[in-house]
Amino acid sequence: MLTTLVPSAAAPRITARPLVTGLDQPVAFTFGPGRVLWYVEKSTGEIRIYDLDSERDRLFFEVSGVNGEGERGMLGIELHPDYPDEPYVYVYATRSVNGALKDQILRITDRDGSGGEQRVIFSSPASSSPYHNGGRILFGPDGMLYTVVGDGHQASNSQDLSNNDRGKILRMTPNGGVPATNPRDSLLFAYGLRNSFGFAFDPQEDRLWQTENGPACNDEVNLIRRGANYGWGPSATCDGASPGNTNGEITRLTLNDRRTGVRRDALVYTHDAGVLSIEVGPGGHLYFSDFGGVYRLARA
């Protein structure tokens, strides 16, 4: 769980350098070979490519039928781990399909730099509420694709194991199949989650870490275990004080010596708008997005 964070006296001054701005809610981005940034816009359905060297920004593909109401929309993007030999781009989107709202993961084939064939590898009914939609997707070191689906603004979903994807972390093959090593005969990997916008793998131990958005309190950082229950559900209460961090604060947590927990560290940077996503990019630099652009953290 997050604790009070204190700035380090020795920390250098950090600023944010704009990379590409004037965007429509770039809630997710990733990096590909050749110093290339791939990003999505939440409501437009556009998948775009930005070259860090030439500063050229161009359209790769536009997904049709995207519903961007509330926290719905195009919410995640990932490249196949063997890209470009396996020329697949994956996105998570809430879409209107034959009159029904679906949360879907699409696999789009890269045809000479533009999106070609679109294949749906995951589809689940979207919640009637436009909130708590999750949407992060990420390939793990095991070659499986992980995604998080929010509880749909209904806490009981998180404890419902009867063919209910909401409030869960799902794990699937690159084609959307059920891996034989999943804890149940389904895509479910972990449950009892409220809503999450981020997770990442420890590059040394291959462990999955997830950030959990609490209600007015109880934001968490969770070490995800196969088949584990993380406690959110209809009986969950808000029984702690809010951390008090504003949406624009980027903080640093440090793993303990066993890499099984985190300890308080430092406030790194305070942005003047909400921070949507953070990724490590070329050269080990940290990049983040807000509602209008993508930026790189740098020494002031």
Q: Is residue 78 part of a domain?
A: yes
The CA radius of gyration of the chain, in Å to the nearest whole number, is 19
How does DSSP assign 147-177, residue by residue? EEE--TT-GGGGG--SS--TTEEEEE-TTSP
pLDDT for position 215: 87
Token pair listed for 279: 């990724």
- Domains in the chain, number: 1
pTM over cut 0.95: no
Q: Is residue 227 part of a domain?
A: yes
Q: Is residue 3 part of a domain?
A: no
In contact, 170 and 193? CB cutoff 8 Å = no
Q: Which residues of 175-200 are buried (b: 16+ CB within 10 A; e: fewer)?
A: ebeeeeebeeeebbbbbbbbbbbbbe
Q: Is residue 59 part of a domain?
A: yes
Q: Is residue 232 part of a domain?
A: yes
pLDDT for position 216: 79
Note down pLDDT in tens along the chain; length 300 residues. Answer: 333 344 444 557 999 999 999 999 999 999 999 999 999 999 999 999 999 999 999 999 999 999 999 999 999 999 999 999 999 999 999 999 999 999 999 999 999 999 999 999 999 999 999 999 999 999 999 999 999 999 999 999 999 999 899 999 999 999 999 999 999 999 999 999 999 989 999 999 999 999 999 887 888 999 999 999 999 999 888 765 555 458 799 999 999 999 999 987 899 999 999 999 999 999 999 999 999 999 999 998
pLDDT for position 241: 53
**Which domain does 125 fall in, by range?**
22-247+277-294
pLDDT for position 247: 73
User: What is the rounded CA–CA span in Å between residue 2 and residue 169?
Assistant: 20
User: What is the rounded CA–CA span in Å between residue 251 and residue 246?
Assistant: 11
pLDDT for position 3: 37
In contact, 19 and 293? CB cutoff 8 Å = yes
Q: Is residue 252 part of a domain?
A: no
Q: Is residue 259 part of a domain?
A: no
Q: Is residue 134 part of a domain?
A: yes
User: What is the rounded CA–CA span in Å between residue 107 and residue 122?
Assistant: 9
> Is the CA virtual torsion 84, 85, 89, 90 positive or negative?
negative
| Coil/strand/helix, residue 284 | helix
pLDDT for position 8: 46
What CATH number should be reported for the domain holding residue 83?
2.120.10.30
